[in-house]
A = this chain, B = another copy of it.
Amino acid sequence: MSSQPQISADSVIDLVEGLARAGRVAQRVLARMPAPAKEQALRLAAAALRRAEPEILAANARDVASAETNGLSGALLDRLRLDSGRLAAMVEAVEQVAGLPDPVGEVIDSATRPNGMVLQRVRVPIGLIGIIYESRPNVTADAAALCVRSGNAVLLRGGSEAVHSNRAIHQALVAGLTEAGVPADAVQLLPTQDRAAVGAMLTAAGLIDMIVPRGGKSLVARVQADARVPVLAHLDGINHTYVDHAADPARAAAIVFNAKLRRTGVCGSMETLLIDATYPDPHGLIAPLLDAGCELRGDARARAIDPRIGPAGANDWDTEYLDAILAVAVVDGLEEALGHIARHSSGHTDAIVTEDQAAADRFLSEVDSAIVMHNASSQFADGGEFGLGAEIGIATGRLHARGPVALEGLTTYKWLVRGSGQIRP
């Protein structure tokens, strides 16, 4: 008999709906907890995680052993694996979220109407958030902490490779949270790895208020394609850096090198370099990358800069490599760079390097990406680097929240109207 017994599609939908309803009830309690109580609950959850280290590492060892048996690749195994150091980092992340300022209750704006009614827009939690993620088990603690801190309930669906790790982490978290009076159902982990459960979450409109997928491109693409619940995510980070003719060469070379090679696997890494045709030192941008082993794929004018640059195909302008590969094009000035970015950017992070303030202002104004930078490395595209404390993800959609999404992005608002008997004429 399989350890993953088949359940019928209807049962899976019933299961997910039941969990979602329980989560919504718990959220109503959580929403009323004052900020210090939520902070305290997260500190107790962090302590419980720390205490459960033996159980969590044992559970993780089971997952790692299965993954090795199943022939998981080295990178996936590395993401899955926990040790004392990684667990300590997970605990610290929960404590850091505990200490963040509470967004709930913030008065966004207020007004007194001529008839004396007083209006306020006040931040409130969104409700029940669904998180669908892959192998990294620290997401279980991370995402739960951000949701609880902002007064939201959460329904977690982790990857099957990490099933034992996630259960152990979840159990410890809930033990800590409930000590402080948070209802256990405020943080729920789907008890089945049945893939139909993901489908049930994606279509639970009215029961789940928002889905955040965290994982590889195929997961995000599936979620975006199938969801009937609003999704906060980015699919691609096809990020451009444009080096203008008026760029400072030393600054430009440092930014370009960092934007591509500091870490190639992060969503903020540069994937396309645009060089102004009149930029004085294109080879100074290109040679360090090639020397460091980066593969470059260029258009005809770019290939003239260095014979080591290979030819770019039509797809290269629309590819997120997440690797030591870079597409390079030579463009005739800012106008052509803006046109290229408008056609090919995924709306994540695009940057200009220039000492010409007017060119920078125009770039910042006209490029319509979630993050637009001047004279800085696109690798700064990160909630922590933006001072947000922690992020639930980066969003390239246009509504609700854009770019790095932290606690504020996990809230909405309501209008409060205080009257003294006003009736409408």
Select which of B230, B366, B423 is within 8 A of A258 by beta carbon.
Answer: B423
Q: Which of B371, B402, B422 contacts A375 (CB 8 A)?
A: B422
- Is the beta-carbon distance between B421 and A375 smaller than 8 angstroms? yes
A262 at the interface (CB under 8 A from B): yes
Q: How far is the CA of A380 from the CA of B111 in the complex (A)?
A: 14
B28 & A373 in contact (Cβ 8 Å cutoff): no
Q: CB within 8 A of A421: which of B254, B368, B420?
A: B254
With beta carbons under 8 angstroms apart, the residue of B113, B209, B375, B398 that contacts A387 is B113
Chain-B contact segment, one of A67-75, A91-99, A408-416: A408-416
List, in ascending order, chain B residues with CB within 8 A of A254's CB: 421, 423
Contacting residue for A417 out of B32, B126, B376, CB 8 A: B376
Give complex CA distance A368, B411 in Å: 13
Considering residues A369, A404, A412, which has the most beta carbons from chain B within 10 angstroms of its beta carbon?
A412
Closest chain B CB from A425 CB (angstroms): 8
Could you tell me if B373 and A417 are in contact, using CB atoms closer than 8 angstroms?
yes
Are the CB atoms of B399 and A400 closer together than 8 Å?
A: yes
| A251 interfacial contact with B, CB 8 Å | yes
Decide if the interface of chain A is mainly helix, strand, loop or mixed: mixed
Known contacts A374-B419, A376-B117, A387-B119; A414/B399 CB under 8 A: no
Count of chain copies: 2
Q: Known contacts A209-B398, A370-B414, A412-B398: does B117 contact A421 (CB below 8 Å)?
A: no
Q: Closest B residue to A31 by CB, please name it.
A: B368
Complex CA distance for A254 and B424, rounded to whole angstroms: 10
**Chain A residues numbered 206-265 whose CB sits less than 8 Å from any CB in chain B:** 209-210, 230, 248, 251, 254-255, 257-259, 262
The interface residues of chain B lying within 8 Å CB-to-CB of A2 are none
With A28-B342, A366-B32 already in contact, the answer to whether A372 and B210 are too (CB < 8 A) is no
What are the residues of chain B within 8 A of A404 when measuring CB–CB? Answer: 415
Chain A: interface size category: 35 or more
Q: Is A124 an interface residue (CB 8 A)?
A: yes
| B-side contacts of A418, CB under 8 Å | 360, 364, 373-376
What is the distance, in angstroms, from A231's C-beta to the closest C-beta of chain B?
10
Q: List chain B residues, Cβ under 8 A from A209.
A: 398-399
In angstroms, how far is the closest chain B Cβ from the Cβ of A321? 18
User: Which residues in B have their C-beta under 8 angstroms from that of A374?
Assistant: 416-419
* B residues less than 8 Å from A424 (CB atoms): 258, 262, 377, 379-380, 385
Q: Give the residues in chain B near A371, CB-CB below 8 Å.
A: 414-415, 417
Knowing A119-B387, A418-B375, A423-B262, the reply to whether A402 touches B398 (Cβ < 8 A) is no
CB-defined contacts of A377 to chain B, threshold 8 Å: 422-424
Contact B400 A400 (CB under 8 A): yes
Cβ contacts A to B, 9 pairs, < 8 Å:
A32-B366, A119-B386, A124-B368, A209-B399, A251-B421, A373-B417, A373-B418, A376-B419, A376-B422
A residues whose Cβ falls under 8 Å from a Cβ of B: 28, 31-32, 111, 113, 117, 119, 124, 126-127, 209-210, 230, 248, 251, 254-255, 257-259, 262, 342, 360, 364-366, 368-377, 379-380, 385-387, 397-400, 402-404, 412-424
New contact pairs (20) apart from A113-B386, A251-B421, CB-CB < 8 Å: A32-B365, A210-B399, A258-B423, A369-B414, A370-B415, A371-B414, A371-B417, A372-B414, A374-B417, A374-B418, A374-B419, A375-B418, A375-B421, A376-B418, A376-B423, A377-B422, A380-B417, A380-B419, A399-B399, A402-B414
